[in-house]
Each structure stands twice: as C-alpha cells, then as structure tokens.
A and B are shown apart, each in its own frame.
Chain A
Amino acid sequence: MKSEIDTVIQRTQRYWYVDGLGEIAVGVMLLIFGLYFGLLGLVQNPTLQMVVALGQPVLFLLLWWLGGKAVRRLKERLTYPRTGYVALQRKKKPLSRLIIAAITAGAVGGLVGLLQALSSGSQVIIPVVVSLLLALSVAIIARRFGLLRFYLLAVYTALLGVLLAVLPISEDQQNIFIFALFGLGWIVSGAVTLARYLASTQLPSEDGGL
C-alpha cells in the first residue's frame, strides 16, 4: 500500500511533466526525425545519402540540446511563475547500473539488427518490435511517476507499430510514419496537458517570499 509520504514524493518527482512542455519537445523532435527519414528517401546521390545518414547522430544531439534549452526557457516563463520551481534530483548512477544499461542497449540494438537481417523482405517485424520497445519505455515512465496519460501513449505507440506493419507501405514510408505519428501523439498529449494546465492555473498577482 502506498503511504501518504510516497504519494507526496511521487507527485514532486512528476512535477516536470505537469505542463506537457517536455512531451511537446520530444514530439517535435520525433516529427523532425520522421521528416529527416523522408528527406533521406528523396536523396538519390549515394555520397549525399551517406552524408545525410552520418548526420543522424549530430541531428539527434542538436535537437536534444535545443529541445532542452527551449523547454527550460518556456518553463521559466509559463510554469515557475504559476506553480513554482522544483529542481530535479540528479542521482549519480552506480557503475553497475550503467554497465547493465549499456549491455541492455547493445542487446536491444543487436536484436533489432538480427530481426532486420532475418526478416529481409518482410516489413512486419521491425515496426512491431520498435514500437513495443518504445511503448514499454513509456509505460515504465508512466508507472514510475503515476502518469495515466503515458499509459495511453504507450498503448497508442504499440498499436501504431502494429498498424504500420500491416499497412501496404514501403520500409522507408514505415520509418517516416512511425516517427512522425509517434511524434504527433506526443505533441497532442503535451498540448492537451499544457492547455489544461494553463486553464487551471494563473499568474499570481504578487510574488511569494519568505
């Protein structure tokens, strides 16, 4: 049974998600990735194709950095003046956990690669596996922070993967749609949360102090 203390701890830890801004940022990032895959499909020149493909990690890091900066700035304007500021606790992860995470990431990457090699010609397995892994990650966040809407996002992600697997579309189109539609889901979820947050809170007329 969850105690009142545990409830307060969980509510404090999920404060980052209260305004939906983080979800919108992740959604935009995924949407851009979808468009990027679309661009990759359009490029015919092999050299240019390689350059665009190599730019993938750079794009990811750039978007992650820009997204984080934008979210922090928006929170300072919208969230903190309304409902206050909470500094996230950044616990140092022990080396054993980092090793386990690296092994898991490697195993998942290997599994996806193996499935890709085994399912040559079949476009069913990859979107299903990718979406189920993403859905699982989202469900873990939902459980950890007690966020109902993240459970809905997890279901949406899993269903999206299955739907894209059975649709008669090419592998390139699958890549575009899986990122773009997953991103749209996050944006919608974040936008609804933001609208509800703004409607239920207001800027205080005078600032609080001690």
Chain B
Amino acid sequence: MKPETGAANLQSISGVDRLIHEPARLMIVTILYASAGADFLYLLRETGLTKGNLSAHLGKLEEAGYVKIEKIFRGKIPQTLLSLTPEGRAAFENYREQLKQIVQSISKE
C-alpha cells in the first residue's frame, strides 16, 4: 500500500458519520431505513440490547435529528413508534456510500 493512499483511506474512514458507525446504532438505523418505522419491541428483539441501552442510543439519534420518536396508542396498548427522518435517511445513504468507496479503494490496492 502506498503511503499516500493509506493516508487517504484513513482520512475517509475518519470522515464517516460516527453517530451511525457505532454498531448498535448502525443496526437501529438500518432497520428503520428498511421500513417506514418500527416499534420499540421490534428494535429491542432485533438488536439484542437492553431497554436502557436502546433508549440511550435512540435518544442520541433523536438528538441528532435522525430519528423521530412517537408515542401512540394501538387500541388500548401504548406503543413507541420510531422512524427515520429525511435527514437520518440521507445520513445513512451517505454513510453506506462512504463505506462502499472505502472498501473499493482498499480492494483495488
């Protein structure tokens, strides 16, 4: 690997969205990207996180404006519905594109 390309790779890796890059949050965002929204229970089961951990990650994503959290009632049952905002969707697409480019540049070397 040439030193300049290695440095370019490192630079591009450091440029990825760290909020999404964290494995648990990446899984949450991926699930929400593949759907129009999901409830807390589904995310809890799919991610394998604890309730507290999942809440903390969702809080960070909501703070960044990536995730919208709604409390609704399905019949008499309260439900927490999560969905990606347009900003969150764009951020995930951008993250995926960046990852693809990094993988391509590494495999070329």
Contacts and interface: CB of A to CB of B under 8 A. Distances in A.
A94 interface: no
Given A88-B36, A208-B39, 20 more contacts: A5-B96, A8-B30, A8-B31, A8-B46, A9-B33, A11-B46, A12-B30, A15-B35, A80-B74, A83-B42, A84-B43, A85-B74, A86-B35, A86-B38, A86-B39, A87-B38, A87-B83, A207-B41, A209-B80, A210-B55
Contacts of B60: none
A5 B35 contact: no
Question: Which one of A8, A10, A90, A210 has the highest number of Cβ atoms from chain B below 10 Å of its Cβ?
Answer: A210
B36 A87 contact: yes
Interface in A2-31: 5, 8-13, 15
A204 interface: yes
Interface in A60-86: 76, 80-81, 83-86
B16 interface: no
A96 interface: no
A52 B30 CA distance: 49
Contacts of A8: 27, 30-31, 34, 46
A69 to B, nearest CB: 15
The 7 A-B residue pairs with the shortest CB-CB distance, nearest first, are: A84-B42, A84-B41, A12-B34, A87-B36, A9-B34, A85-B39, A87-B37
A114 to B, nearest CB: 41
B3 interface: no
A47 interface: no
Contacts, number: 87
Interface residues of B, number: 32
A84 B77 contact: no
12 contacts: A5-B30, A9-B30, A83-B42, A84-B43, A85-B74, A87-B81, A89-B36, A204-B41, A207-B78, A209-B80, A210-B40, A210-B55
B34 A209 contact: no
Interface string A189-207: 0000000000000001001
Interface string B76-99: 011111010000000000001000
A89 B32 CA distance: 10
Contact of A87 (B35, B75, B80): B35
A210 B41 contact: no
A8 to B, nearest CB: 4
A180 B35 CA distance: 34
Contacts of B36: 87-90
A85 B80 contact: no
A210 B80 contact: yes
